[in-house]
Amino acid sequence: MKHLCDWLNPAAFSEHLAWSTHDSAYLNDLLPLPYTTATLARVSDHIDRVQDVLGRRMLLENPSSYLVFAETEMSETDFLREIAARTGCGLLLDVNNVFVSATNLGTSAQDYIADFPMQAVGEIHLGGHDADADESGAPLLIDSHGCTVADPVWALLERTLALAGPTPVLIEWDNDVPDWPVLAAEIARADVALKVTA
């Protein structure tokens, strides 16, 4: 990774706040963490190691959540705020992930954005999600990056930019990539949102 970053010299390097391995097992998913003091120390140590080896600041991305752990001791925004303070890393704010998590967990996406440590944000992501329902019939959103950004996520982006100011925005589209006019329309919509805050 260091060789790749040194060779390409990207504007930013980011990673998700998640885990996907245990012992020798690799799980092809971004799994959630309990927000505890022990997890905070472990994640901070890992970020320090990554930044030391790469010789560059890392951005840490907020996850999409589908459940919370009973042992959680703090909010996700407090957890991210403390990680940024301890390690000096930046944050990558995925607005779609905020909307997905808020819908799935029955919380307020607007309150999350209002409490997010915007001074640490180095990049903002948007993406599409799939709507489903859980076993009880409650809404369940899946962060899929396979369709256009939903209108409520665009509205949340506008609120985010009003607080953060102009910030680089990336639209993720990993599956079922459409023809260029659809992608260009998404880019144009993000550009309009950025110009409003400029």
Tens-place pLDDT, residues 14-30: 999 998 887 888 877 78
Give dist(CA 163, CA 158) in Å, integer: 9
Cα torsion angle, 25, 129, 152, 67, sign = negative
Question: Which tokens sit at 93?
Answer: 């704010």
Residue 67 in this model has a pLDDT that exceeds 90: no
Over the Cα atoms of the chain, what is R_g? 17
Give CA separation, 195 vs 82, 102, 159, 167, 188, in Å.
31, 27, 13, 11, 10
Residue 70 CB contacts under 8 Å (≥ 6 apart), including other chains? none
Looking at the whole model, is its pTM more than 0.75? yes
Span 2-197: which CATH code? 3.20.20.150
% of the chain residues with pLDDT over 70: 99
Mean pLDDT over 9-18 rounds to 95
Average pLDDT of the residues of the chain: 95
Residue with tokens 């994640």: 43
pLDDT of residue 111: 98
pLDDT of residue 2: 96
Strands 19-22 and 90-94, how do they pair?
A: unpaired
Give CA separation, 106 vs 129, 141, 191, in Å.
17, 12, 30
pLDDT of residue 180: 96
Query: Where in the chain are the domains?
Result: 2-197
The pLDDT tens digits of the residues spanning 100-158 come to: 999 999 999 999 999 999 999 999 999 999 999 989 999 999 999 999 999 999 999 99
Mean pLDDT over 59-72 rounds to 94
